[in-house]
Structure 1
Amino acid sequence: MERQSSRRRRSGPLAKSQKQDTENHEETIPHGPQKSSSFQGVVIYSLVVCVWIILAYFHQNNTPDPLQSLLPFPRIQGKKNTTLRDPDSVRPRIELHPEDHVYREPVTQRLGWRVTSDYLRPDGVLKRVYLVNGLFPGPTIETRSGDILVISVTNALETESITIHWHGLHIQNSMDGTSGVTQSVIPPGDEFVYNFTIPMDQSGTFWYHAHSGVHRADGLYGGFVVHEPAPKSTVRGLLSKEAKYAYEKELLLLIGDWYHRPADQVLAWYMRAASDGNEPVSDSLLINGVGSFDCNMAVPARPVDCEQSQVDFSFLNVNRNVDYRIRVVNTGSLAGFTLTFEHEKLELIQLDGIDVEPQRQKNVNSAGILYPGQRMDFILRSPPEVDAKPSSSITVGLDPECFKYPNPALNPEQSFPINKISKDNRAAKPSWVNSISLDQVASSSSNLAALPAKADQAHVIYTKIQKLSINEYIPYGFFNQSSWKPSDIPLIDLPKEKWGKDQFSFSTGPEPIWVDLVVNNLDEGPHPFHLHGHHFYILTVHQASIGWGSYNPFRDPYPPGLMSNSKEVSSDFNSETPYNLSRAILRDTVQIPSRGYAVLRFRADNPGVWMFHCHILWHLASGMAMLVNVMRV
């Protein structure tokens, strides 16, 4: 387990006073005089009011009442002397310890978790954040294949119910942590025990996060690393030069976009006709729960309680004489991101816990885009010629594809020092960039060996954010004609005929079979889709340059975007499949571009009811989810 000390918790009255101050504080648009002495005064006053209204509208007032959409945000009140961060109460550096797990036999790990909340300043802005055992992010789980985990989760929140999902792990269905599907929510004051076994054929980088409401956007998540067992005869196992990968230390980076407003208010702003389906743009980004926000960038229409301070990012430091395995998780709610190193070189080895083919491209120092829910592992090495360089940095760049309007408070590209030798505290931008596209990387040949040329079953689905008059033009996510709503009773406890019309699904039958899932995205924006309980082979992804590039294999003779002379197709054009299976990617989360489609092939061999959904949190909360009923009649 990651060795992290408990965060010092502030006293309970702070939360109460915070709420009272917010409720009692009012701000209104200032009123000018009833009569103007000159035409110029009227014009100036009118311009001021117009600018104020525009800022208020475009910067997410997060109030569900459309009539309030033109008013400024209420100011957040908090302790004026709150410190940005107590160095004795937080350990943002997550250094892993594979040597404690790779050689031993499987064991049972028993963990006791208590979920609470407190007001913290992750990036300088005061916000109510969820904690697990007093930590944000929650404790990092380190284990090995075959271990049994017994995790007792106590919900110590006063009014909110929770569940926890173990993202990417093929565990038994009842422990998947999906509210309304595999379990009921854990009410305040109650406890639930998650008891599951890590599959022997799974290892890599995973994570856990809340799967009820929108708690994930307020910090209810953490890292989950499964180490691959190594023979005891190996001197240093995974860390040796003769091992599968040559490296000496491991670091975990939990990176994602961050909102300064509470997630339920952000969702309320989105779920109204006035949002026009434009996803709320984030305000900041965090690495392992730490960020750096410039208080001067806060917009007047959305004031925040911000304390400017020099943030210590020494937890990102690396030793140039040491090779590191860096495990990265996108914990964000909306945006993908790229990582770029100023001088160091990276060697990609895994995506979503699956080995990829050795990379032939040399001198790579940038990887992306990593979308919400996705993970990547790479070896970070410092070439000998960088010894003369005084410092180095890592740059995180949020992908603007999901940003449908500007947020002046957000700095979408931020650099952080990782090897600072000089006294200069500024992190320089990379001097050169040689990037690898994650969507063009194939899985290793050993992982592709099991992929059949043809599936036993195929299903075609269409997904879109719909603003319908029947729903008062509020944006809801749809799969075909259904918008997901959680069931009060877990669906695994109900026969299929008693499921509601909001639980759109398909069944695969009583025996393990191969399934093709053709997902058509009819939206103007992309969607990162995640399948619980399984990985899938991404056979092809296509985006139409004009119009829509949807695909129905029962109707279309050939997939749009794949022509007979395309390098994407099989070398044998007359074979059973039009896809180049040698370039398939085995993942559990796929980004489907706007007006495009993806063909996913997976073996339905993990019994249960599994959710397939968009990992943009606002889309999931608005109903963009469906079910895959595996071997359940």
Structure 2
Amino acid sequence: MSRPATGSSSSRAARLLIATLFSGLLAAAVALCLLYAFSTRPLGANGGAVTVVHGGGSPKQRPSNPGTDGQDAFTLHPQEHIFREAQTIHLTWNVTKARRAPDGVVKAVYLINGKFPGPIIEARSGDELVVNVHNSVHDSDEGGIAVHWHGLTMKGANEMDGAVGLTQCAIAPSDNFTYRFRIDESQSGTYWYHAHSGVQRADGLFGGLVIHKPAQAERKSDLTTYQYETEQLLLVGDWYHRQAGAVLDWYQDPNHYMYEPAPDSLLINGKGWYNCSMAVKARPVNCSETEKPAVVFGDSKRVRLRVVNTGISSGVTMSISQGNMKVIAVDGGGAVAHGTPAVGSIGLLYPGERMDLIVDRHVPTTSESHESREEPERQGELTITLDRENMGLINFALTREQSFQLLWAVSRGDAPNGHSQRGQETISQFNLADAAGLPLGPSLSAIASPQETAVLYSTMRVRAANHNRPVGTVNHTSWVVSDPSQRPLLSLDREEWAGAIKQPTPAQTLTVPWFRQAGEGRWVELVLNNFDDKGHPFHLHGHSFYVVATHHAVLDQNNAYNPFDPAAASQQTVNTATPLRKDTIYVPPMGYVILRFALDNEGLWLLHCHVLWHQAVGMGIVLQVGDIADDVKQRASELCPR
């Protein structure tokens, strides 16, 4: 008598168990999608979830008055900074929280000196900034505030970087803290500042920071090089109507299976438009009809537009009519190759990233000029589209693509500064991922042979040991600060670090990679792998880096993901001739990026995903460069309770 194959019955039982579990998970996911879809279905006239105050007319019929919509507040003044000597700029900020309706929906929003977004800081390379911040927010749920200067290297001022738990304690209610640091002479470009404590950035604690490159005898100013007439700042990003803490609670709920919460709206320069009739029963709002904001270029034929994605989870694509755009720089002034085409659409720009554009208006023909003599302004459109990558569950109340009036003064004059739009070869869209940098000079030859290599692995997972809540990790380490008043790592000895930052699961330990040898001419190659089927925009504090390679997985093939193999590193194709310089980089799904940067800035620096919900559940890691001086440790603990 033949014997049955060993383990056959147990295999059938295992397959049955797996099938049952899979069916249960599939049913739960379908139920969640149906529940979310029902709760985000637009209400009818009698839905009762929204208070609507009608303003009359449609948004496109009622453009914002350029004289009253605050547009002038986002016009920059390079002439006041590029010709002067470096100086100390003193600022005093009072941070409060009040109910505002940026897009017509009322929400408690952070204000700096009564403004949302916060006031724009304009400076030049080499300036010293002294910013006294007073925390007047007395919300018991807030553990204090802090301000991070996104993109600035903070050389010699690690303790001023603004990362709660790492470089400082939070500024407690009714307390003050003065940030004092010098902008490096090598830094100029488009930056921004934002909260780096909890999830306060999603409630509006951010603003623009522009560092102008000084005009010098040996080099042309940007005004001369690009021949633009005005500079403007555009802060664009997604927006949530619920308070950030409530949104984070939703994301961490085990019943939501790690689906990222979709935003409700989008804002440009702190203003937006929301269709009140689309409000949903599950999330009632106090909503009023508002006018759509306009972007006003006036009689300028060529504009430098500095764009910051201040959003929480969504990449953005920008398109314009009545003109075209050309990228000249990214992040903190990383120059883009001169051959980059002029286009009508550019994207994707991910949260934390910036781009500098030269925008040329369409020059009207003789017949167009004759037809428009009665019009004081030509109404083009600026269209913003939010990417859906982090919108696994559709929010039917969100208008993902919105167009805003782009107002140019009509003129029969010549093309801007002799730059005719006729005859220029243009394409319809430019992918920022295809941008290349300028050729590197001999002073950067060390990029070709870094002395160190570090390989990091990032992922988002639901962990049973964390009560089935999402956990973000880099090399099995999570960066989550549970107590904003605890002494920061920068003030502690290295052997105390593991006990200072509690990990979400017992299997995890705090890991801080240490590049012991630092100094001029010493470089590191950092490889950042992404194990997820969604991309992550990572930001590195204290440094800019060169992107020498990006690997995209072919997701529809078996075994498509091939993580970076250190053993085969010598065969990896890298671009050290024209790499792009950045401080925030999108790591594609199941792919990786190879970054190279100089180890010339000693201290503790955070590397983290800039999707705020991912950052909030731990997707970050601390890097140590060189040694930490005793006086830096002492200054880092100044705000902490005694």
TM normalised by structure 1 equals: 0.80
Task: Note if 1:582 corresponds to 2:580.
Answer: no
Is contact 1:465–1:477 with CA below 8 Å preserved after alignment? yes
Task: Note if 1:199 corresponds to 2:184.
Answer: yes
Is contact 1:479–1:504 with CA below 8 Å preserved after alignment? no
* SS of equivalent residue, structure 2 residue 201: helix
Q: State the distance in 2 between where 1:306 and 1:107 align.
A: 45
RMSD: 2.9
Is contact 1:56–1:302 with CA below 8 Å preserved after alignment? no
Task: Note if 1:472 corresponds to 2:484.
Answer: no
Is contact 2:49–2:279 with CA below 8 Å preserved after alignment? no
Q: State the distance in 2 between where 1:137 and 1:628 align.
A: 31
Q: Deviations over 1:310-334 (max 9, x none)?
A: 33x24x1123552111000000000
Matches within 5 A, 1:132-151: 132-151=112-131
Provide the residue aligned with 2:24 in structure 1. Answer: none
Q: State the distance in 1 between where 2:197 and 2:442 align.
A: 34
Change (3 A) 1:448 1:504: farther
Provide the residue aligned with 1:334 in structure 2. Answer: 313
Q: Which of residues 615, 620, 625 is equivalent to 1:625?
A: 620
Provide the residue aligned with 1:371 in structure 2. Answer: 350
Q: Which of residues 317, 320, 329 is equivalent to 2:296?
A: 317
* SS of equivalent residue, structure 1 residue 404: coil
Task: Note if 1:536 corresponds to 2:545.
Answer: yes
Matches within 5 A, 1:157-556: 157-159=137-139, 160=142, 161-171=144-154, 172-231=157-216, 237-239=221-223, 243-311=224-292, 313-314=293-294, 316-319=295-298, 321-385=300-364, 388=368, 390-419=378-407, 434-446=428-440, 450-451=444-445, 452-486=447-481, 488-500=486-498, 502=503, 503-512=510-519, 513-545=522-554, 546=557, 547=559, 549-556=561-568
Q: State the distance in 2 between where 1:309 and 1:176 align.
A: 37
Is contact 2:260–2:392 with CA below 8 Å preserved after alignment? yes
Provide the residue aligned with 1:14 in structure 2. Answer: none
Is contact 1:112–1:152 with CA below 8 Å preserved after alignment? yes
Change (3 A) 1:79 1:416: closer
Q: Deviations over 1:234-286 (max 9, x none)?
A: 9x9543xxx22211100000000000110000000001211211110101000
* SS of equivalent residue, structure 1 residue 505: coil
Q: State the distance in 2 between where 1:365 and 1:251 align.
A: 18
* SS of equivalent residue, structure 1 residue 310: coil
Q: Deviations over 1:563-584 (max 9, x none)?
A: xxxxxxxxxxxxxxx3122242
Deviation at 1:409, TM superposition (A): 0.7
* SS of equivalent residue, structure 2 residue 280: coil
Deviation at 1:75, TM superposition (A): 9.1
Is contact 1:338–1:366 with CA below 8 Å preserved after alignment? yes
Change (3 A) 1:552 1:192: same
Q: State the distance in 2 between where 1:270 and 1:625 align.
A: 18
Q: Runs of 5+ in structure 2 lacking a partner?
A: 1-29, 41-46, 373-377, 411-425, 504-509, 629-642
Deviation at 1:81, TM superposition (A): 11
Deviation at 1:209, TM superposition (A): 0.0
Deviation at 1:343, TM superposition (A): 2.4
Deviation at 1:354, TM superposition (A): 2.5
Provide the residue aligned with 1:39 in structure 2. Answer: none
290-299 or 446-455: bigger deviation? 446-455
Give the structure, 1 or 2, with the largest relative contact order (CA under 8 Å, sep 6 or more).
2
Q: State the distance in 1 between where 2:100 and 2:588 align.
A: 36
Question: What residue identity is the alignment partner of 1:354?
Answer: G
Q: State the distance in 2 between where 1:237 and 1:557 align.
A: 40
Q: Which of residues 125, 128, 138 is equivalent to 2:105?
A: 125
Deviation at 1:60, TM superposition (A): 8.0
Deviation at 1:309, TM superposition (A): 2.7
Question: What residue identity is the alignment partner of 2:266?
Answer: L
Is contact 1:60–1:269 with CA below 8 Å preserved after alignment? no
Deviation at 1:296, TM superposition (A): 1.0
* SS of equivalent residue, structure 2 residue 566: coil
Q: State the distance in 2 between where 1:89 and 1:157 align.
A: 29
Question: What residue identity is the alignment partner of 2:405?
Answer: P
Deviation at 1:148, TM superposition (A): 0.6
* SS of equivalent residue, structure 1 residue 499: helix
Deviation at 1:361, TM superposition (A): 4.9
Q: Which of residues 593, 604, 610 is equivalent to 1:609?
A: 604
Is contact 1:548–1:596 with CA below 8 Å preserved after alignment? no
* SS of equivalent residue, structure 1 residue 199: coil
Is contact 2:536–2:587 with CA below 8 Å preserved after alignment? yes
Q: State the distance in 1 between where 2:442 and 2:221 align.
A: 25
Deviation at 1:302, TM superposition (A): 1.9
Is contact 1:343–1:386 with CA below 8 Å preserved after alignment? no
Q: State the distance in 2 between where 1:377 and 1:454 align.
A: 30
- Displaced runs of 4+ in structure 1, greater than 4 A? 51-56, 58-61, 74-90, 446-449
Q: State the distance in 2 between where 1:121 and 1:323 align.
A: 32
Question: What residue identity is the alignment partner of 1:186?
Answer: I
Q: State the distance in 1 between where 2:406 and 2:320 align.
A: 9
Q: State the distance in 2 between where 1:361 and 1:200 align.
A: 27
Question: What residue identity is the alignment partner of 2:195?
Answer: A
Q: State the distance in 2 between where 1:102 and 1:264 align.
A: 41
Change (3 A) 1:249 1:92: closer
Question: What residue identity is the alignment partner of 2:182?
Answer: T
Could you tell me the percent identity over the aligned residues?
40
Deviation at 1:461, TM superposition (A): 1.3
Q: State the distance in 1 between where 2:345 and 2:206 align.
A: 26
Change (3 A) 1:208 1:394: same
Q: State the distance in 2 between where 1:270 and 1:198 align.
A: 37
Is contact 2:39–2:280 with CA below 8 Å preserved after alignment? no
Is contact 2:361–2:408 with CA below 8 Å preserved after alignment? no
* SS of equivalent residue, structure 1 residue 619: helix
Q: State the distance in 2 between where 1:213 and 1:248 align.
A: 40
Q: State the distance in 2 between where 1:180 and 1:287 align.
A: 31
Q: State the distance in 2 between where 1:334 and 1:394 align.
A: 21
Provide the residue aligned with 1:91 in structure 2. Answer: 70
Q: State the distance in 2 between where 1:260 and 1:447 align.
A: 48
Q: Runs of 5+ in structure 1 lacking a partner?
A: 1-50, 62-73, 423-431, 563-577
Q: State the distance in 1 between where 2:52 and 2:401 align.
A: 30
Provide the residue aligned with 1:65 in structure 2. Answer: none
Q: State the distance in 2 between where 1:139 and 1:200 align.
A: 23
* SS of equivalent residue, structure 1 residue 317: strand
Deviation at 1:184, TM superposition (A): 0.5
Provide the residue aligned with 2:417 in structure 1. Answer: none
Is contact 2:103–2:290 with CA below 8 Å preserved after alignment? no
Task: Note if 1:156 corresponds to 2:141.
Answer: no
* SS of equivalent residue, structure 2 residue 297: coil
Deviation at 1:498, TM superposition (A): 1.2
Q: State the distance in 1 between where 2:388 and 2:570 align.
A: 32
Q: State the distance in 2 between where 1:164 and 1:78 align.
A: 35
Q: Deviations over 1:566-605 (max 9, x none)?
A: xxxxxxxxxxxx3122242110000011111111111111
Question: What residue identity is the alignment partner of 1:152?
Answer: N
